[in-house]
Amino acid sequence: MNFKQIFRHLPLMQKLLFSYTLLTIIPVSLLGFFIYAAYMNAAEEQIGALVPQMLEQASQQIDRNVQDVTIMPERLYQSQQTIEILRADAFQSHAESMQQQYEMERYLSNSFLHSSTSDLLGVFVFSKNRIFAATTEDYRGFSKTEAAVYGQSLELEKGSILLLPHETNLVFNNGADYLLIGVPLQDRDNQTYLGTMFLALDVSFVDRITASMKDHRAARIMLVDKMSGRLAYDSSGRDNESVDLNAYPIENGSFLQDGKLIGITPAIQQTYALVYEVPTEILFAKQQHTRTISIVLFLVFICFSLFFYSLAAYNVSQPIKQLMQNMRSVQQGEFQRILPVTKQDEVGRLTESYNIMIEEIRDLIQKNYMIKLKQQEAELYALQTQINPHFIFNTLETINYAVEAGEQEEVMRIITTLGRMLRYSLDNGVKFVSLAEEIGHVKDFLSIQQFRFFDRLTWSTDYPNEAGSLQVPKFILQPIVENSIKYGLEVQTSIHIGIKIQQIEGLLVLTIKDDGPGFDPVVREKLEKELALEPGITSKSAHYGLSNVANRIKMLYGADYGISLENNRHGATVLLYLPFQQV
């Protein structure tokens, strides 16, 4: 026996497993392992050797530079004259004020801007509603009011503050980006608050620190505010952008995202993050050749796999296809076709089961036919005899109020009408009634409701006398009229309900129209879906009466009849479509 015959008689599951394992799993697994190993080795080599180490060193250097600037206010205490100026009262003569302004700004310029630290763009000292400034570039903004706000905050917090350009009005004419570092000044002799020093640090120092990192082609280095995501520095020059750090899976380390290798590490006392981005296609340029070879090998394996797997799939699919064709015949009601069993594998056993199932279905159809008829009869009876308990409760409350008010005649009239209604609804042996009887029942219902609502409720009926002998299902008008009253009087002070009977194109059309608020579009869409359900599926929504009536009409006459909803200019319209039948 050759391989083809052995393979042909194998069980279906073994055929699929053998083919898939031999032609797909093993080659793809080996190929995937090779690509994964080569790719990951290259990535680990690049990431492990470059990004974490460079970012850590750059972050430490940035922290040191910012820390050096933060302690620079100590130079003020080297000059007793500047301390005395800060201690002096702000209310002085103009000459004294100008003299102090000149001496303070000259000291700031000599001690801070002309020192070895060349990264400062400017120094500002705010004290007692005075502001002293020394800058390397002309500037605008940064008023006394703004300085006072930050100064008061620093006085309370007893610490320094870092501000980005978008957080302050300070703008240098050369457009330089900066970090504004605010440090409170304390009188060490009196332990009082002297003022606040603001130092504008040019972020170009970040460019010097990260110069070695930028040698990597197309790399982008950013210094990002961790709270706002705003950029304090961007090597690509897009400083007005912002970065969503929450989109990064880690806060410290390296990862791959959107075709880029991204490294991130905290900087400047954890307030900022130093981010490094480089496209993976550049970073992994050495692996391009290996990836190309892997793709070629993968395509070759796929071609062979598709060819052999197609043969196996065809051998499996043919009997299954034949079985499916017979199942479609069963769906159309043909239960006479029996399939021959030619194989002993799973498909053959499935065919045997199918033949047995067909024979059992034939028997079950005969047994279940009468059961289904009786079940449908029971469901129809249950739907027909349902009545809203709230109506009975409200009617009894109305009777109670009438008795207390001494309206004996009205009590007798309501009790008589209610008794007639209950007798009508509980007459279990009747499915169909004349249209005159159904309209009489609705009039009884409206009479009781009018006693409750007085002139808030009016109604009218319009139908020819000969229509009274037409046959309709029992108890189909009251639930709809009840809904009109319920939802109309919820939002309006009064409502009018009109009932019209007419014959249209061989159909008996019952129209219930009100001048209420109409159907809300969302509610109407939901109702139309409920009314389109198969007969016997009962909705549990607030509009249960509509679903009840629609179910009964479909169960009695079929899916061609039922209920439709419309919104008119002033209110809602419900139309019932029934066959035109005499009693």
Banded model confidence at residue 508, pLDDT cuts 50, 70, 90: very high
Quick one: average pLDDT of 544-552?
Answer: 79
Report the relative pairing of strands 253-257 and 457-462 from DSSP bridges. unpaired
Q: Tell whether the model's pLDDT for residue 28 goes beyond 70.
A: yes
Quick one: average pLDDT of 361-375?
Answer: 66
Q: Tell whether the model's pLDDT for residue 381 goes beyond 70.
A: no
Rounded Cα distance, 64 and 55, in Å:
14
Q: Tell whether the model's pLDDT for residue 538 goes beyond 80.
A: no
Quick one: average pLDDT of 17-22?
Answer: 72
Rounded Cα distance, 563 and 91, in Å:
88
Banded model confidence at residue 379, pLDDT cuts 50, 70, 90: low
Lowest-pLDDT range of 24-28, 35-39, 354-358, 375-379:
375-379
Position 46 scores a pLDDT of: 62
Rounded Cα distance, 542 and 245, in Å:
48
Neighbouring CB atoms inside 10 A of 287's CB total 19
Position 429 scores a pLDDT of: 65
Position 369 scores a pLDDT of: 55
φ, ψ (nearest 5 deg) of residue 462: -140, 105
Rounded Cα distance, 62 and 76, in Å:
24
Position 525 scores a pLDDT of: 87
Q: Tell whether the model's pLDDT for residue 377 goes beyond 60.
A: no
What amino acid is encoded at 306 in this protein?
Answer: L
Per-residue pLDDT tens digits for 72-124:
888 888 888 888 888 887 677 788 888 888 998 898 888 888 865 568 889 99
φ, ψ (nearest 5 deg) of residue 153: -65, -45
Position 495 scores a pLDDT of: 92
Lowest-pLDDT range of 38-42, 104-108, 407-411, 529-533:
38-42
With a pLDDT cut of 90, the percent of the chain lying above it is 7
Q: Tell whether the model's pLDDT for residue 52 goes beyond 80.
A: no
Banded model confidence at residue 333, pLDDT cuts 50, 70, 90: low
Position 1 scores a pLDDT of: 57
Rounded Cα distance, 10 and 2, in Å:
13
Beta bridge partners of 181: 162, 199
Cβ(293)–Cβ(15) below 8 Å: no
Per-residue pLDDT tens digits for 199-258:
898 888 887 787 776 555 567 888 888 887 888 888 777 666 788 888 888 888 787 788
In terms of C-beta distances under 8 Å and separation of at least 24 residues, what long-range contacts does 77-85 make, across chains too?
Answer: 77/188, 78/111, 79/107, 79/111, 81/107, 82/107, 83/187, 83/194
Position 439 scores a pLDDT of: 92
Average pLDDT score, the chain: 79
Rounded Cα distance, 207 and 204, in Å:
5
Q: How far is CA 222 from CA 204, 215, 277, 393, 503, in A?
A: 12, 15, 8, 73, 79
Position 299 scores a pLDDT of: 77
Quick one: average pLDDT of 467-495?
Answer: 88
Q: How far is CA 413 from CA 206, 421, 460, in A?
A: 95, 12, 20
Q: Tell whether the model's pLDDT for residue 544 goes beyond 70.
A: no
Banded model confidence at residue 497, pLDDT cuts 50, 70, 90: very high
